[in-house]
């Protein structure tokens, strides 16, 4: 793919001398950004553009040009691609619109394009995007006119679905002291998609931070794996999250909607930093170009007491601790620098010290404190302070790198000076404390997550052939596993089930009742009844044999020809009900779910989920992140329940879903969490045949 981003020769197809011609701008951009490779132009009419002739026939091209950039009406694209194939061009950037995002016919056209590409071994960028921008070598093959002076070279590479969003990020990153290495606008992702480009960016030495804007995630699982494989930070702006944006996204880049709750958790699990708007993206990029925030201890240095207070409020909102400054520290500063006494507070108010060198010295002193993880330097300057402030910013950058701690520099001054600083300094400047603190929180979470990621999911030994047999049998009979098969699957995976026995003959009831003791539930066993409770197939709290026999007879009638007995199960009156579940997401694969049962789920509708496989910290988080889960810890003097056992069940359920692709979904509802242990009371398993989840 290096040939695509760093071609030696490129042909732009669709140009004309007409000033409104869009393909013409592609050529102009290549000139503007001083692309050093060979540039060839093809158009319908002969002419001259930027000192080069426009050729009217593909046939006249020499063979083996690296990249073709095509911006012609959609219906002409298949023919052009044929010509490219014949001329042994291996990469085509198609910027034309009018394909699947536009109409049925467009979609057909797209298929034809793909067919031709496959035939000739051509890989395609787009269609319906603005192609590729490589600031490093001037290969700027986009059709909107760009100004080289307004674009800043830097370390972020972007992978963007929409063209307009590409330009937005180009502008925002250029004025954020960070800069851009490469942008690819993927458009409809007909052939190459985010995974292909991502792989390239991960290996590209010029790319230090990867930014992604997507309206749909198709290869979710691959995305997660790629992200886990690299130490480069990945920031993802996933749009099209709501009901209202669905339709327009489909028209725009033919994007289908994902289940946003799954997207949210999946990205977190892979330490992909998710943002929801442009500003957060830029804040994330800024902070990730600083050393990492390794912990929670923050110092705020501020020239304004008022803004220090605003910063302290923000710090608390983002869960930082303001590291307590000791008097000995300020005493030392006092004696070293003969400054006026400053109070040993954090935020440290520098307002009365009008000495910029002293600011630098104090900054260094704070950075030297081992326990301090990061610093907000809140600066403001008026009039003559503008020049010394530039020096201060340089020093702050040096010190931040030297001590490998983030110094998030917030600077409030006149707009023009800010624009200058942002354009010329290679060090991110934040405007207000809220930005800097939200950014530091991103850095801290990124660092923390990297550590959690290292823990592998546990691996339990399981008698898989027994489970496979059970599933195979159900599958052959074109039905889902019924009780007790579903229980047996769980048990094979070490998920405990409340005591039960299967009774095939009424006369065996007595023995079973005596064995289980205490009240029991009877559940019908019949492959024809999938929602047992709805039809009277479950009867609870049976206390004596005569009642059990009566119920048995009724269930026999209910199950008809397919009745094969009942499951007698011990009633569990203690503990609290929770729900464990799993399903397969079309884009992210197996997902495990957890929630409380009963009134909690009805009123609060809380549940947590994770993409499988999960490791122990993830399973623990699934429980602790639910507000309702606090009732498991014991409220109103109740004793705490066995959350550890629940964690164990989640881990085992995760492995089950990984091992058994035949299983589409599982619903273990309820699981009773006890003071010791957590046992399944009912379970449904759905196979990929039929039902769906």
What are the backbone angles phi and psi of residue 408, rounded to the nearest 5°? -85, 110
The strand pairing partners of 520, in sequence order, are 542, 570
Q: Cβ(258)–Cβ(249) under 8 Å? A: no
Candidate segments 37-45, 287-295, 615-623, 628-636, binder of a copy of itself by CB under 8 A: 628-636
Q: To 5 degrees, how large is the angle CA 274–CA 666–CA 459?
A: 70
For residue 587, the minimal CB distance to a copy of itself (Å) is 18
Cα separation of 25 and 313, whole Å?
49
Q: Cβ(84)–Cβ(121) under 8 Å? A: no
Does 507 contact a copy of itself by CB under 8 A? no
Does 327 contact a copy of itself by CB under 8 A? no
H or E segment and range at residue 410: strand 407-412
Does 654 contact a copy of itself by CB under 8 A? no
Q: Which residue has the tokens 């467009």?
A: 106
Does 544 contact a copy of itself by CB under 8 A? no
Return the DSSP state at 456: P
Kindly tell me which residue out of 2, 59, 104, 243 binds a copy of itself, with binding defined by CB under 8 A.
Answer: 243
Cα separation of 581 and 654, whole Å?
10
Does 434 contact a copy of itself by CB under 8 A? yes
For residue 636, the minimal CB distance to a copy of itself (Å) is 6
Does 50 contact a copy of itself by CB under 8 A? no
List binders of a copy of itself among 458-487 (CB under 8 A). Answer: none
Kindly tell me which residue out of 316, 331, 477, 625 binds a copy of itself, with binding defined by CB under 8 A.
Answer: 316
Transcribe 477-527 into DSSP letters: TTS---TTHHHHHHHHTT--B--EEEESSGGGHHHHHHHH-S-EEEEE--T
Q: Which residue from 158, 86, 96 is spatially nearest to 121, judged by alpha carbons?
A: 86
Q: Which residues are CB-contacts of 549 (< 8 A; sequence separation ≥ 6)?
A: 506, 509
Longest dimension (CA), the chain: 101
Does 60 contact a copy of itself by CB under 8 A? no
For residue 145, the minimal CB distance to a copy of itself (Å) is 4
Kindly tell me which residue out of 207, 258, 443, 628 binds a copy of itself, with binding defined by CB under 8 A.
Answer: 628
Choose between 411 and 500: whose C-beta lies nearer to a copy of itself.
Answer: 411
Does 241 contact a copy of itself by CB under 8 A? yes
Does 312 contact a copy of itself by CB under 8 A? yes
Kindly tell me which residue out of 53, 73, 79, 164 binds a copy of itself, with binding defined by CB under 8 A.
Answer: 164
For residue 433, the minimal CB distance to a copy of itself (Å) is 7
Candidate segments 240-248, 400-408, 586-594, 649-657, binder of a copy of itself by CB under 8 A: 240-248
What are the backbone angles phi and psi of residue 688, rounded to the nearest 5°? -65, -20
List binders of a copy of itself among 583-612 (CB under 8 A). Answer: 599, 602-604
Choose between 320 and 588: whose C-beta lies nearer to a copy of itself.
Answer: 320
Q: Which residue from 476, 470, 517 is spatially nearest to 490, judged by alpha carbons?
A: 470
Does 371 contact a copy of itself by CB under 8 A? no
Does 79 contact a copy of itself by CB under 8 A? no
Kindly tell me which residue out of 7, 14, 154, 163 binds a copy of itself, with binding defined by CB under 8 A.
Answer: 163
Choose between 138 and 144: whose C-beta lies nearer to a copy of itself.
Answer: 144
For residue 218, the minimal CB distance to a copy of itself (Å) is 16
For residue 85, the minimal CB distance to a copy of itself (Å) is 29
What is each CA distance from 661 to 157, 471, 487, 688, in whole angstroms? Answer: 36, 11, 18, 8
Does 315 contact a copy of itself by CB under 8 A? yes
Kindly tell me which residue out of 416, 507, 534, 574 binds a copy of itself, with binding defined by CB under 8 A.
Answer: 416
User: x/- site string to a copy of itself, residues 196 to 215, per CB under 8 A?
Assistant: -----------------x-x
Residue 484: cis peptide before it, omega within 30 degrees of 0: yes
Kindly tell me which residue out of 50, 251, 371, 401 binds a copy of itself, with binding defined by CB under 8 A.
Answer: 251
Does 330 contact a copy of itself by CB under 8 A? no
Does 388 contact a copy of itself by CB under 8 A? no
The strand pairing partners of 209, in sequence order, are 156
What is the size of the binding site for a copy of itself (CB under 8 A)?
A: 90
Cα separation of 128 and 99, whole Å?
7
Q: Which residue from 434, 430, 424, 389 is spatially nearest to 174, judged by alpha carbons?
A: 424
Q: Which residues are CB-contacts of 272 (< 8 A; sequence separation ≥ 6)?
A: 223, 224, 227, 234, 235, 236
Does 105 contact a copy of itself by CB under 8 A? no
Return the DSSP state at 255: P
Kindly tell me which residue out of 383, 505, 557, 639 binds a copy of itself, with binding defined by CB under 8 A.
Answer: 383
What is each CA distance from 164 to 129, 242, 689, in whole angstroms? Answer: 9, 20, 43
Work out the angle between the directed axes of helices 327-337 and 356-368 (0-180°, nearest 10): 140
Kindly tell me which residue out of 244, 328, 335, 514 binds a copy of itself, with binding defined by CB under 8 A.
Answer: 244
Does 345 contact a copy of itself by CB under 8 A? yes
Candidate segments 299-307, 527-535, 563-571, 646-654, binder of a copy of itself by CB under 8 A: 299-307
Q: Cβ(390)–Cβ(379) under 8 Å? A: no
| Total residue count of the chain as it appears in this document | 693
Candidate segments 63-71, 306-314, 539-547, 581-589, binder of a copy of itself by CB under 8 A: 306-314
Does 353 contact a copy of itself by CB under 8 A? no
Q: Cβ(176)–Cβ(154) under 8 Å? A: no
Kindly tell me which residue out of 107, 202, 412, 453 binds a copy of itself, with binding defined by CB under 8 A.
Answer: 412
Candidate segments 155-163, 196-204, 529-537, 583-591, binder of a copy of itself by CB under 8 A: 155-163
Q: Cβ(73)–Cβ(98) under 8 Å? A: yes
Return the DSSP state at 132: E
Kindly tell me which residue out of 253, 400, 512, 669 binds a copy of itself, with binding defined by CB under 8 A.
Answer: 253
Kindly tell me which residue out of 423, 449, 475, 616 binds a copy of itself, with binding defined by CB under 8 A.
Answer: 423
Give the start-end residues of each E strand in 165-247.
Answer: 180-185, 209-214, 234-238
Candidate segments 87-95, 309-317, 456-464, 684-692, binder of a copy of itself by CB under 8 A: 309-317
Helix (H, G, I), strand (E, B) or coil at 586: coil
């Amino acid at each position: 793919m290096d040939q695509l981003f760093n071609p030696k020769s490129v042909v732009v197809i669709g140009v004309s001398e007409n000033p409104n011609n869009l393909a013409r701008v592609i050529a102009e951009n290549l000139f503007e950004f001083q692309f050093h490779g060979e540039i060839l132009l093809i158009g319908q009419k002969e002419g001259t553009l930027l000192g080069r002739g426009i050729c009217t026939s593909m046939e006249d091209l020499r063979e083996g040009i690296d990249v073709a950039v095509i911006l012609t009406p959609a219906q002409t694209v298949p023919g052009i691609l044929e010509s490219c194939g014949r001329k042994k061009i291996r990469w085509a950037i198609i910027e034309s619109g009018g394909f699947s995002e536009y109409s049925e016919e467009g979609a057909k056209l797209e298929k034809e394009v793909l067919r031709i590409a496959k035939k000739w071994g051509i890989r395609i960028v787009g269609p319906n995007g603005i192609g590729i921008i490589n600031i490093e070598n001037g290969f700027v093959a986009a059709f909107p006119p760009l100004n080289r002076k307004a674009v800043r070279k830097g370390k972020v590479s972007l992978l963007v679905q929409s063209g307009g969003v590409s330009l937005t990020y180009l502008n925002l990153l250029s004025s954020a002291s960070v800069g851009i290495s490469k942008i690819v606008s993927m458009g409809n992702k007909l052939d190459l998609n985010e995974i292909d480009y991502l792989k390239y960016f991960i290996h590209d030495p010029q790319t230090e931070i990867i930014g992604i804007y997507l309206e749909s995630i198709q290869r979710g699982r691959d995305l997660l794996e790629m992200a886990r494989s690299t130490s480069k930070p990945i920031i993802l702006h996933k749009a099209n999250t709501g009901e209202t944006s669905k339709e327009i996204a489909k028209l725009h880049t033919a994007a289908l909607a994902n289940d946003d709750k799954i997207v949210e958790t999946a990205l977190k699990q892979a330490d992909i930093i998710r943002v929801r708007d442009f500003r957060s993206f830029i804040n994330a990029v800024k902070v990730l170009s600083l050393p990492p925030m390794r912990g929670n201890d923050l110092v705020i240095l501020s020239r304004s007491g008022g803004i220090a207070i605003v910063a302290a409020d923000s710090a608390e909102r983002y869960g930082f601790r303001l590291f307590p400054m000791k008097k000995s520290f300020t005493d030392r500063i006092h004696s070293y620098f003969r400054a006026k006494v400053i109070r040993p507070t954090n935020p440290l108010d520098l307002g009365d010290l009008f000495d910029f060198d002293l600011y630098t010295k104090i900054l260094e002193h704070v950075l030297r404190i081992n326990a301090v993880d990061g610093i907000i330097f809140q600066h403001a300057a008026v009039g003559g302070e503008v020049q010394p402030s530039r020096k201060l910013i340089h020093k702050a950058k040096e010190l931040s790198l030297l001590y490998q701690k983030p110094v998030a520099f917030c600077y409030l001054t006149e707009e023009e000076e800010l624009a200058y600083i942002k354009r010329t300094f290679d060090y991110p400047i934040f405007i207000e404390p809220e930005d800097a603190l939200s950014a530091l929180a991103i850095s801290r979470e990124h660092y923390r997550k990297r550590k959690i990621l290292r823990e592998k999911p546990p691996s339990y030994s399981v008698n898989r052939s027994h489970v496979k047999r059970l599933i195979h049998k159900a599958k052959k009979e074109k039905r889902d596993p019924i009780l007790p098969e579903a229980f047996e699957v769980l048990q094979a995976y070490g998920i405990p089930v409340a005591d039960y026995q299967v009774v095939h003959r009424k006369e065996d009831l007595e023995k079973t009742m005596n064995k289980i003791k205490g009240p029991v539930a009877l559940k019908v066993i019949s492959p024809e009844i999938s929602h047992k409770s709805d039809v009277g197939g479950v009867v609870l709290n049976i206390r004596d044999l005569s009642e059990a026999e009566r119920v048995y007879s009724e269930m026999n009638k209910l199950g008809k020809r397919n009745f094969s007995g009942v499951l007698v199960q011990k009633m569990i009156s203690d503990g609290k009900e929770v729900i464990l579940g799993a399903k397969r997401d079309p884009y992210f694969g197996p997902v495990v779910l957890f929630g409380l049962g009963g009134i909690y789920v009805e009123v609060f509708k809380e549940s947590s989920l994770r993409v499988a496989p999960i490791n122990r910290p993830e399973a623990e988080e699934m429980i602790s992140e639910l507000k309702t889960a606090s009732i498991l810890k014991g409220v109103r003097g109740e004793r705490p329940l066995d959350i550890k056992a629940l964690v164990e069940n989640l881990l085992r359920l995760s492995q089950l879903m990984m091992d058994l692709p035949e299983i589409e979904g599982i619903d273990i509802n309820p699981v009773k969490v006890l003071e010791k242990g957590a046992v399944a009371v009912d379970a449904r398993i759905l196979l990929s045949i039929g039902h769906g989840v």
